[in-house]
Amino acid sequence: MKKAIIVGSGAGGATIAKELQGQFQVTVLEAGGPFQPFSVNLNPIENVKKTRLLFDEREISWLFPNMKVRKADKEMVLVNGVGYGGTTALSAGNAIRCDHALKAIGINLDDEFKELYSEIPVSCDHQKKWHILTREVFNICRSMNLQPRPTPKMVRLEHCIGCGKCVLGCSRGAKWDSRVFLDQAIEKGAGLVSRCTVKKVVVEKGRATGVIAGNRFNTRFFPADLVILAAGGLGTPLILEQSGILCKPSLFVDPVLCVAARTDYSLQNREMPMPFIIQQEHYIISPYFDFLSFFFNRRWKHPARDIFSLMIKLADSNAGNVSRRGIGKSLSDLDRTRLEEGVSLCTEIFRKLGRKDENLFLGTVNAGHPGGMFPLTEKESTTLHNDSLPPNLYVADASLLPESLGNPAILTIAALAKKISKICAEYV
């Protein structure tokens, strides 16, 4: 049986591993290790926060080793998951189909989305778990003709206790993440090598023959007949660069900025994040308790139970880069203008809720949906394969997306990965 190396176990990598195991002998190389949900009580951390010992977002790894935070620049931090399931384990579990840019270049994922909906539990029937204030804000948004809609969630609602820690890992197993597909691949015979970082793809006579990977103590060659890079929007471009394959300086990251107000005993920190979404042209708005801002932003000085926040998730400009020299990404003037528009809309919602402008406070700009540096074009709409790659080397993560979604990306990445797996199966 031919060998396939899949780099990464997130939405793209785990999906392809599940699909290809049996047709190939699959080995998944994962830079992280087993994922552990953050189950610590927040009260002691709130006491530590009062000492001002928590002042840099990168310190989050002290509290939560599966979360990695890097500074993009002085005004924005980048967040990603490190471990089985990648960033899907840290997601809010949103099942949003957002493939309009792919459709525009001729890529039809209807069949793949249909398959995913039969494999992943998706529900919009969670309003009964909303707190009173969330219901009130939803009705305010309706009255403003903002057309809010309950967010489809990848969740088994019967197991959800509404603890509010979806983005810190679900300790109840209610929220779906790509570890489910990873486990299914392993049950079918796939191999998994953890704490194994891929350095480069080895190319000989125009074909990929495997990858060089390992850790700081040991590096080895993993041979393969097929190599699929799904290391994420920050990881895959770096591997490609180190393999002598150029990417575009077109990084997007879907920046998030939260607008918050003190609301006694709102308990948003103990509620399902992003229960509903308001879709605007360049961003979405959704109720969301921002733990990163709560831990490290000194404007978030109130107890967690007394903060209610609205998230702005922006579809940002495709202008940024990842290389061995580091990450170069900042907000463009247009990005700032659109974020300001979002802040204005959130402010208006809070006014109707009875909150004064001077009592609102902003969160830390953070981003967790990097991609776009190896974008598909109309030319690749059938093959999903760039000519600069060897014929047996594929990319299967957000690096392929032509533009920022400004929306949760997991379902769209998984659908795209399913499509790519069908093409790769032709190598058997």
Q: Are residues 21 and 53 in the same domain?
A: no
Asked if residue 96 belongs to a domain, the reply is no
Q: Are residues 186 and 319 in the same domain?
A: no
Q: Measured between alpha carbons, how far is 17 from 19 in angstroms, rounded to an integer?
A: 5
The band of 51, judged by pLDDT with boundaries at 50, 70 and 90, is low
Q: Are residues 339 and 197 in the same domain?
A: no
CATH of residue 221: 3.50.50.60
Q: Are residues 334 and 201 in the same domain?
A: no
Distances, alpha carbon 10 to alpha carbons 43, 57, 87, 93, 260, in Å: 31, 23, 6, 13, 31
Q: Are residues 30 and 141 in the same domain?
A: no
Cβ count within 10 A of residue 162: 17
Alpha helices in 76-129 (DSSP H): 100-104, 110-119
> Mean pLDDT in the chain?
93
Alpha helices in 171-269 (DSSP H): 179-187, 232-242
Q: Range of 397's domain?
A: 3-34+177-249+372-427
Given a cut of 90, is residue 67 above it in pLDDT? Answer: no
Domain count for the chain, please give it: 2
Asked if residue 108 belongs to a domain, the reply is no
Q: Are residues 380 and 298 in the same domain?
A: no
Q: Is the separation of the CB atoms in 171 and 165 below 8 Å?
A: yes
Give tens-digit pLDDT for 20-42: 999 999 999 999 999 888 776 66
User: Per-residue b/e over 248-276, b at no fewer than 16 CB within 10 Å?
Assistant: ebbbbbbbbbbbbbbbeebbbbbbbbbbb
**Position 422, amino acid:** K
Looking at residue 377, its pLDDT comes to 97
Asked if residue 119 belongs to a domain, the reply is no
Q: Measured between alpha carbons, how far is 102 from 34 in angstroms, rounded to an integer?
A: 33
Cβ count within 10 A of residue 148: 20
- Cα angle: 323, vertex 325, 328; to 5 degrees: 70
User: Lowest-pLDDT range, 30-34, 134-138, 161-165, 349-353?
Assistant: 161-165
Q: Which residue has the higher pLDDT, 116 or 68?
A: 116
Q: Measured between alpha carbons, how far is 405 from 303 in angstroms, rounded to an integer?
A: 33
Give tens-digit pLDDT for 270-283: 999 999 999 999 99
For the segment 142-156, the average pLDDT, to the nearest whole number, is: 97
Which is it for the CA torsion 6, 121, 94, 96, positive or negative? Answer: positive
Give tens-digit pLDDT for 318-345: 999 998 888 999 999 999 999 999 999 9
Query: Please, what is the angle between helix 410-424 and helix 11-20, to 10°?
Result: 30
Which is it for the CA torsion 149, 154, 156, 162, positive or negative? Answer: negative
Please report which helix (H) or strand (E) contains residue 154, including its range: strand 153-154
- Cα angle: 382, vertex 388, 389; to 5 degrees: 75
Please report which helix (H) or strand (E) contains residue 67, including its range: strand 67-73
Q: Are residues 17 and 163 in the same domain?
A: no
Q: Is the separation of the CB atoms in 17 and 6 below 8 Å?
A: yes
- Cα angle: 35, vertex 39, 42; to 5 degrees: 135
Q: Are residues 199 and 331 in the same domain?
A: no
Asked if residue 106 belongs to a domain, the reply is no
Q: Which residue has the higher pLDDT, 402 or 45?
A: 402
Q: Are residues 49 and 158 in the same domain?
A: yes
What are the φ and ψ backbone dihedral angles of 132, each rounded to 5 degrees?
Answer: -60, -45
Given a cut of 90, is residue 347 above it in pLDDT? Answer: yes
Q: Which residue has the higher pLDDT, 404 or 165?
A: 404
Burial of 57 (0-12, 13-18, 19+ CB in 10 A): buried
For the segment 264-272, the average pLDDT, to the nearest whole number, is: 94
